[in-house]
Structure 1
């Protein structure tokens, strides 16, 4: 047995146990966002309005990432046994990202089924875009520094095709509702307040999504879920509080039914039972592992990447994988 297979059953049973009290993080995050917005109004004419606004925007971006983590759990069925309640939680918490929760659900549960294979959106294959080593490195740096959401949106067309007609209607209603709300805020708020309330946080959020996507899956291989991603930032307690433990990504891929609020305690209890390969993919910091991966990007070997996909019919592989259903919400492994 290898990977995480020797983790005692009692630790897993405790980790899967739901405790709805932790869902109070939802009103807490939205409440902090509202308080920060009040600060933006109160300081809009202050001499330090710009640095205050930037600091507020950075906090908002981290709050939105944390709300997204709760929505992500709702998609997995980890917040509630009720499908309706799970959808409402996911809709409320995922909306600030600006993307449809219906579309995200289809993509993300499928990602778990095909993680790190050629067609997986989270596996950015740079040689599909350029074979020039310099351009390939620059493109990778761009995608994994700030442009991942643009690449991600470009890939979502394949998931729109997987939606039923009714799901497509719901997707468009979700988008219309949220962006209509943002248009209302833009209309009633002074532009300076709106800029720091949503526009700059959206930019910061794109950077966070790009960097963490690299950390979670760059150069990871398909196969056993225990080796499919990295856990990072285990010593970053403030960040994990704001992000609702999304950094415990390896544990999530192996055991996607564990609620966000149990991931850190499970990691700490289960870590002694991990094999060395799993332990090597667990990192105490976020910045350290990110800089290490940027270094690997700068040393990109096109020939080595070609070897990974040698003999693979990429079109056939994409058709085969896109025909698969995603994992079921509530999956335990």
Structure 2
């Protein structure tokens, strides 16, 4: 859906019209806001994990919401790469690193990967999200993408390569290679320990592994909307999509459905994105009225 006949500005022009006072307010970070959101998120996740782990009545019903909660930790890790969910940098780094374990997503590696994505958004030759080819163009590729299986395989390969192989991607700073290698080896040791725990208890299979496999397709469906069907242009309000959604999705994703706004002004923390959206809404070029609408449009072009 495109906006109507109002004056359309690109992201640089639109941001230049914001007053210095408003720009400063929008960039205000808060430990209180971040920790409040994180606490609510973790309380819900722990509640579902206990429901499954203790096999309380109807516990299989809890596998899906638990899996979605595990998977959407990705959006928190993503925010931490920008140091925006919390005012204290060390909290961002600790939380981002903690998310690495359940997601198989090494944080230092991901931060470099994601910064390159912001720099070269939707550029087929330079955006690392497109390193292995374009987004799904056939129904089979679309279904494979949504399954999440390529994600798990890709991240397992990345961790192993970072631990013992060559760290050679051009967007990974050489000064960070030792840290990335150490990070990958620590993760492998942790996974080895978790694997050993299965000898005396299968609880991790039901509390983490199975839910994560079930929940990953929902994250894939969410992520495809961020840039799918968006053109390879420089305007961040066009090469990224804002998807109008409900409060639950915005809570799970730390307000990242306002994705064009995030790409236009990455220094804005999650709790200020609704305010930024109010300022940039007239200039958005790529939007969808919900994720169901986006996927209907996406399947139509396959």
Normalised-by-shorter TM-score class: 0.7 to 0.9
Q: Report the equivalent of 2:30.
A: 19
Deviations 1:130-167 (A, max 9, x none): xxxxx951443134322451575499569932354412
Q: Report the equivalent of 1:215.
A: 225
Structure 1 residue 38: deviation in Å?
1.9
Show the 5 A alignment for 1:119-130.
119=125, 120-123=127-130
Q: Residue 170 in 1 paired to residue 179 in 2? A: no
Q: Aligned in 2, Cα 1:139/1:103: closer, same or farther, shift over 3 Å? A: farther
Q: Aligned partners of 2:261, 2:66: CA distance in 1, in Å?
A: 26
8 Å CA contact retained: 2:100, 2:107: yes
8 Å CA contact retained: 1:67, 1:94: no
Unaligned runs of 5+ in 2: 1-7
Show the 5 A alignment for 1:38-187.
38-43=50-55, 46=57, 48=58, 52-53=59-60, 55-80=61-86, 83-119=89-125, 120-123=127-130, 137-147=138-148, 148-149=150-151, 152-153=154-155, 156=158, 160-161=167-168, 162=172, 163=174, 164-176=176-188, 178-180=190-192, 182-183=194-195, 186-187=198-199
Aligned counterpart for 1:206 among listed residues 216, 235, 258: 216
Give the 3-state SS of the residue equivalent to 2:41 in structure 1. Answer: helix
Structure 1 residue 116: deviation in Å?
0.9
Structure 1 residue 97: deviation in Å?
0.8
Q: Residue 36 in 1 paired to residue 48 in 2? A: yes
Q: Aligned in 2, Cα 1:126/1:79: closer, same or farther, shift over 3 Å? A: closer
Structure 1 residue 110: deviation in Å?
1.0
Q: Report the equivalent of 1:195.
A: 205
Q: Aligned in 2, Cα 1:70/1:153: closer, same or farther, shift over 3 Å? A: closer
Q: RMSD of aligned C-alpha atoms?
A: 3.1
Deviations 1:190-231 (A, max 9, x none): x3x433311222213431232223211123213122222111
More deviation, 284-293/206-215 = 206-215
8 Å CA contact retained: 2:239, 2:286: no
Show the 5 A alignment for 1:233-244.
234-244=244-254
Structure 1 residue 91: deviation in Å?
0.7
Q: Aligned partners of 2:102, 2:236: CA distance in 1, in Å?
A: 29
Q: Aligned partners of 1:12, 1:70: CA distance in 2, in Å?
A: 23
Q: Residue 6 in 1 paired to residue 14 in 2? A: yes
- TM-score, normalising length: structure 2: 0.78
8 Å CA contact retained: 1:56, 1:196: no
Q: Aligned in 2, Cα 1:29/1:94: closer, same or farther, shift over 3 Å? A: farther
Structure 1 residue 188: deviation in Å?
5.2
